């Protein structure tokens, strides 16, 4: 099967990482997969490094040039199915494929944020695609409810985690040569640093007396990095916060943490970093945001706190750190939950089956 992914975003985050991981996985299974994206996109740099064929095209604007360039790529690559990931490339792909009549289109919705019911949303989710994928049951249900999609044509396929790569390892060993000693208590997050991840609430929680001896680890880059660094200085916690910037491999950083914290304030899909932390057998503290509720069961695989509540966040973090038995129980259950339904193999199995069905106009 020949699969062409389109991505108009020039940024970097879980969406782009999933496209790359899924592409590499299906290439390893014998399929021919390529990605088309703007030349300045982060994914354009990352794809060749992972052995994934890449075609440059200016698909970040809805204009005739973008349609023409995408048609050239389609003529050259001859895909059996086109997979679109963002709004702009979905529009351009629709026009470049005769509204999906010449080549079947699969639309993937990564974000949990609600899609408004409108003529335009119905066009790129209902009229054009053969099948639609949401990266969690909450995303799938939102699309069915808001856009009026046929449930038989919409599927939930969460991003899978490599459970061999993301596995529990010795924390003391992981901290050797790091900013942390064996006795430090470390709460951490891995994320593309956008407002929606709620990192300011983690910094505010660190100010509270109950977390005065706790150190923070913030792994990732993004548009809010400098603001967060400045905020940490202004509120007096900078000496206890280590910002790593962008990291290609986050496994060693996860293994330094005692607890993983995701105080998200927006509707999420199934966050990859949260799955990776759970696969690493870390106890997690998070919010009921979008499809997060599919991963975390309160008191069983993690702890929920209200959104935008630094006091509750501090209390939950302290509870886990003060009770090692609770942390171990939550972490063990988290790992088992990922192994049961959120593995990389399951994602690849499900996407492979769905793309073959779409290619056959199923």
Res. 78: pLDDT tops 80: yes
The gap from C-alpha 80 to its chain's centroid, in whole angstroms, comes to 26
Least confident stretch, 109-118, 155-164, 236-245: 109-118
CA dihedral 228, 202, 324, 249 (to 10 degrees): -40
| Prediction pTM value | 0.92
What residues contact residue 11 under an 8 Å CB cut-off, 6+ apart?
Answer: 41, 42, 192
Scan for tokens 């351009």, then name that residue: 92
Q: What is the pLDDT of residues 320-345, one digit of tens each?
A: 999 999 999 999 999 999 999 999 99
Confidence of residue 248 (pLDDT cuts 50, 70, 90): confident
Check residue 235 and give its pLDDT.
Answer: 97
Res. 100: pLDDT tops 80: yes
Average pLDDT value for residue range 122-148: 96
Confidence of residue 120 (pLDDT cuts 50, 70, 90): very high
Check residue 286 and give its pLDDT.
Answer: 98
Res. 164: pLDDT tops 80: yes
**What element of type H or E holds 243?**
strand 241-245
Res. 239: pLDDT tops 90: yes
Average pLDDT value for residue range 74-86: 98
Res. 361: pLDDT tops 90: no
Is residue 174 a contact partner of residue 204, using CB atoms and an 8 Å limit? no
Is residue 91 a contact partner of residue 121, using CB atoms and an 8 Å limit? no
Average pLDDT value for residue range 92-120: 94
**DSSP SS3 for 283:** coil
Q: How many C-alpha atoms does 338 have within 13 Å on its Cβ side?
A: 34
Check residue 303 and give its pLDDT.
Answer: 98
Average pLDDT value for residue range 148-168: 97
Confidence of residue 45 (pLDDT cuts 50, 70, 90): very high
Cα separation, 27 vs 29, in Å, equals: 5
Q: What is the pLDDT of residues 186-207, one digit of tens each?
A: 999 999 999 999 999 999 999 9
Looking at the DSSP bridge assignments, the partners of residue 216 are: 187, 241
CA angle 185, 330, 238 (to 5 degrees): 25
Average pLDDT value for residue range 23-42: 98
Confidence of residue 268 (pLDDT cuts 50, 70, 90): confident
Res. 362: pLDDT tops 60: no
Sketch out the chain's domains with CATH numbers: 2-160+343-359 (3.40.50.2000), 171-341 (3.40.50.2000)
Confidence of residue 67 (pLDDT cuts 50, 70, 90): very high
Confidence of residue 25 (pLDDT cuts 50, 70, 90): very high
CA-based R_g, the chain, Å: 21
> Mean pLDDT, the chain, as a whole number?
96
Cα separation, 118 vs 313, in Å, equals: 37
Closest CA to 260 of 157, 127, 153, 171: 171
Average pLDDT value for residue range 41-49: 96
């Amino acid at each position: 099967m020949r699969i062409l992914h389109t991505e108009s975003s020039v940024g970097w985050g879980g969406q782009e990482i999933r496209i790359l991981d899924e592409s590499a996985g299906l290439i390893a299974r014998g399929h021919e997969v390529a990605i088309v994206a703007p030349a300045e996109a982060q994914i354009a740099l990352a794809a060749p490094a992972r052995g994934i064929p890449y075609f440059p095209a200016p698909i970040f604007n809805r204009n005739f040039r973008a349609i023409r360039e995408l048609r050239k790529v389609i003529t050259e690559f001859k895909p059996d199915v086109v997979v679109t990931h963002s709004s702009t490339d979905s529009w351009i792909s629709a026009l470049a494929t005769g509204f999906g009549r010449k080549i079947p289109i699969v639309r993937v919705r990564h974000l949990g944020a609600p899609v408004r019911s409108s003529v335009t949303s119905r066009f790129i989710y209902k009229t054009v695609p053969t099948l639609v994928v949401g990266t969690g049951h909450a995303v799938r249900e939102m699309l069915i409810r808001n856009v009026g999609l046929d449930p038989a044509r919409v599927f939930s396929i969460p991003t899978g985690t490599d459970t061999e790569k993301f596995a529990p390892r010795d924390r003391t060993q992981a901290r050797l040569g790091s900013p942390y000693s064996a006795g430090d208590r470390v709460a951490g997050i891995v994320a593309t640093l956008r407002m929606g991840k709620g990192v300011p609430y983690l910094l505010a929680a660190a100010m509270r007396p109950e977390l005065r001896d706790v150190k923070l680890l913030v792994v990732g880059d993004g548009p809010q990095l400098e603001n967060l660094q400045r905020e940490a200085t202004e509120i007096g916690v900078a000496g206890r916060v280590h910002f790593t910037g962008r990291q290609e491999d986050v496994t060693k950083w996860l293994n330094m943490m005692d607890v993983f914290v995701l105080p998200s304030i927006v509707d999420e899909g199934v966050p990859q970093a949260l799955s990776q932390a759970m696969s690493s057998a870390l106890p997690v503290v998070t919010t009921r945001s979008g499809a997060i509720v599919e991963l975390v069961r309160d008191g069983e695989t993690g702890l929920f706190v209200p959104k935008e509540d630094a006091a509750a966040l501090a209390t939950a973090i302290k509870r886990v750190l003060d009770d090692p038995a609770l942390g171990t129980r939550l972490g063990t259950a988290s790992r088992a939950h990922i192994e049961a339904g959120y593995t990389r193999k399951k994602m690849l199995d499900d996407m492979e089956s769905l793309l073959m069905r779409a290619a056959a106009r199923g």
